Amino acid sequence: MGEPVARVDARAKLTGSARYAAEHPTPGLVYGVVVDSAIARGRITALHVEDALAVPGVLEILSHRNRPRMRKLGLFYKDMTAPAGSPFKPFHDERILYSGQPIALVLAESFEAARYAASLVRVDIDAQPHETHLLSHLKRAHEPSRLKAGFSPPPKEKGEAQAAFDAAPVRIDSEFHAGVEHHNPMEMHATTVLRGEDGHLTIHDKTQGSQNCRWLVSRVFGLPRHRVTVKNAFVGGAFGSGLRPQYNLVLAVMAALRLERSVRVVLTRPQMFSFGHRPETWQRVRLAADMDGRLRSVLHEAVAETSRLEDYAEVVVNWSGQLYACDNVKLDYRLVALDHPSPCDMRAPGAAHGMHALEVAMDELAHALAMDPLALRLKNFAERDGATGLPYSTKALKACYEQGAARFGWRDRPQAPRSMKQGDELIGWGMATGQWDAMQMFARAHAELRADGSLIVSSAASDIGTGTYTVMAQIAAATMGLPMERVLFRLGDSTLPVAPVEGGSSHVATVGSAVQGVCEKLQKTLLRFAHALPDSPFAKARFKDLRFRGGAMEWVDADTGAVRASVPLATLLAAAEVERVEERYLMLPNLLRQKRYTRATHSAVFCEVRVDEALGIARVTRVVSAVAAGRIMNTRLASSQVMGGVVWGISQALHEETHTDHHLGRFMNRSLSEYHVAANADIHDIDVLFVEEDDRIVSPRLGAKGVGEIGIVSVAAAVSNAIFHATGRRLRSTPMTPDKIMAPGPDWAAGDSAVGIPLVPR
């Protein structure tokens, strides 16, 4: 474990033999194309489908008027969805809740016929006034529902934050705005429902949890569990968009039941903007300190959008009460319901916004104090969780600071902005701190060791491109002492042992621990076989003295380390006269022990930016990301995960934003040509390093934490801080596009209206 093993699924993906949700062929497949609403709010008064039905090959057009009966829809969506909440119910009734809402499904013998017919569907809608502008409705913000599962509301005020702020000699008061972002994975959301002759539905869906989707289909449509199998063997990226079952799944199953045929529904790229997004967020951060840099007060408030359907909530401000030592902290988080689809989790939900505002404000405070930004963070380093007083399970953040700064060359940074220039470009160096939760859930695993020395381990886990196939096989191989090529890990099938959705950077600590646990059960069974051997050399061997390597079981002397006895695993199975040995294991986290600690991953991000003021172009030319995430199971894959997070952080900082026409209430740049993401030319040197850490609280078996989210956290803040160091101009709204860099005066959040967004009334 820890070795940079190459992906076991790489060849399948590179050669095209890996099949994704929309790539499973079957005879007589029916194609579905979704018709969506161009109105943001209203009621459907009529659907005109005659012309569409007249297209050759069109079989049916489903809508709220003729959909199949769905059982206990409200109960499922309210209480059982993962993540919890009240998601949109497709074709539930005649109400239009947001622009882009699916209102009909055209079904045809060919995709071309379905697509053409969909263009002929006409709908009459009684339009009603809509609201989509967050900044115009901040005053009607409300507290999130306390019943929202998985949401931790801000803790109660600690000390006297406002009084301490007013009395402090150095104060920072800043407002921040972040626009809507969309996930935009390469693979569009798609569902292929293969209907067997016996009526069994085998469903290939783009999802981060096959069992989550199977539960939905079974529950909502009243189908017995044994009649539904959901598979997601390969997923072309998701980033949180596949945590909930999306409406393409419901529509495809609906059509398959109605027609009693196999059906495929694939969303278009514009339709990928019709569900879920990172919510638009406004924040205000106030920091106060003594002249020596000691924090006296932290006040952080945030207002984010949600939908009319539910209170989608994120942990945005809580980090500001945890990360730094301060006796006076006040945090507030509220929501504004708008006529948009519900936001949904997007890589590092909440932290990507909340940590950004905090870390930019900390940089502002450091500048006001004429203090090095890293020195300010070390001055206020929190050994314990500032909100709860609990110790951290592990916190190697100081090592991240030290090693990241040394790798970057931070000590050579001049204090004053606009101090470095090369040619027409100003050069700036910025840094920021990252923190994300370290979680472990429960999971089951099954293992089968065969007489030929091969091992098959199974769990209904997912691999959304993160390397789950590889890391789980690696854990199993290392535990059993087998070469990687003799180990197969099976995932992406709802019939396999239970596993959580892949999200929250928890899969390795959770499923990986289950894999190691089931392999250890196999080892104990093999020891019993060894004890039963005639004149067994293992007769007095204890389990703790065993070592598995090279396809054999060894008894190692506890004092000298010498091998006292060795036997091939295949020999043990042959002696026991069995073709295979099977074990099952349930991994349950020790919640009572975990609750005594705050469990988190940490990072320190150092960034170099070059800014051409004449053109308003900022280039991120160098990034060092130092991460503390427990034991690293595979340095190659973990580095790739963090590197991908850094790329996205740069994209968040400089490129990504979904624009809304508030007159239409509609997202407008719904394509990869208009929704800008970082391209290869935007990315330069990224250096990832992992500091030594071993967390036996988060995962007692492995000592591991997750790396999926921490890679993106605070990268945009480091970019923002570097832009300030280069130019002397503070940008507090993302993305930091050329028009904002070139705009005269301070950024809009400091009171300038040149950017086109008014200062929010306090």
Last residue of a domain, one of 561, 588, 615: 588
Domain that holds residue 24: 10-129+183-273
Split at pLDDT 50, 70, 90, the class of 75 is: very low
Domain check: are 610 and 712 in the same one? yes
Q: What is the model's pLDDT at position 610?
A: 98
Domain check: are 533 and 628 in the same one? no
Is residue 760, in this structure, part of any structural domain at all?
no
CB-based contacts of 607, cutoff 8 Å, min separation 6: 429, 430, 431, 432, 620, 622, 623, 624, 715, 718, 719, 721, 722
Q: Which residue, among 522, 446, 549, has the nearest Cα to 488 in the 3D structure?
A: 446
- Tens digit of pLDDT for each residue in 508-543? 999 999 999 999 999 999 999 999 999 999 999 999
Domain check: are 471 and 564 in the same one? yes
- Tens digit of pLDDT for each residue in 183-200? 999 999 999 999 999 999
Q: What is the model's pLDDT at position 68?
A: 86
Asked if residue 646 lies in contact with residue 623, where contact means CB atoms within 8 angstroms, the answer is yes
Q: What is the model's pLDDT at position 758?
A: 34
Asked if residue 438 lies in contact with residue 708, where contact means CB atoms within 8 angstroms, the answer is no
Domain check: are 574 and 684 in the same one? no
CB-based contacts of 741, cutoff 8 Å, min separation 6: 611, 613, 616, 617, 618, 723, 727, 729, 731
Last residue of a domain, one of 249, 273, 297: 273
CB-based contacts of 419, cutoff 8 Å, min separation 6: none
Is residue 329, in this structure, part of any structural domain at all?
yes
Domain check: are 549 and 487 in the same one? yes
From first CA to last CA, the distance across the chain in angstroms is 53
What mean pLDDT is reported for the chain?
94
Domain check: are 617 and 522 in the same one? no
pLDDT surpassing 90 at residue 588:
yes
Cα separation, 674 vs 493, in Å, equals: 36
Q: What is the domain count for the chain?
A: 3
Q: What is the model's pLDDT at position 755?
A: 30
Is residue 759, in this structure, part of any structural domain at all?
no
Domain check: are 720 and 635 in the same one? yes
What does the angle CA 595 – CA 600 – CA 606 come to, to the nearest 5 degrees? Answer: 165
DSSP, residue by residue, 637-703:
HHHHHHHHHHHHHHHHHHT--B-EETTTTEE---STTTS----GGG--EEEEEE-----TTT-TTT-
pTM: 0.95
Domain check: are 37 and 120 in the same one? yes
Is residue 757, in this structure, part of any structural domain at all?
no
Which residues are part of the catalytic machinery? 709
Q: Compute the average pLDDT of residues 58-80.
A: 75
Last residue of a domain, one of 588, 618, 647: 588
Q: What is the model's pLDDT at position 756?
A: 30
pLDDT surpassing 80 at residue 76:
no
Domain check: are 159 and 256 in the same one? no
Split at pLDDT 50, 70, 90, the class of 152 is: confident
Domain check: are 562 and 466 in the same one? yes
Cα separation, 395 vs 691, in Å, equals: 11
CATH number for the domain harbouring residue 664 = 3.30.365.10
Domain check: are 340 and 467 in the same one? no
Q: What is the model's pLDDT at position 78?
A: 47
Domain check: are 78 and 115 in the same one? yes
- Tens digit of pLDDT for each residue in 202-230? 999 999 999 999 999 999 999 999 999 99
Is residue 3, in this structure, part of any structural domain at all?
no
Q: Which amino acid, one-letter code, is at 556?
A: V
Is residue 1, in this structure, part of any structural domain at all?
no
Three-state secondary-structure class, residue 601? strand
CATH number for the domain harbouring residue 62 = 3.90.1170.50
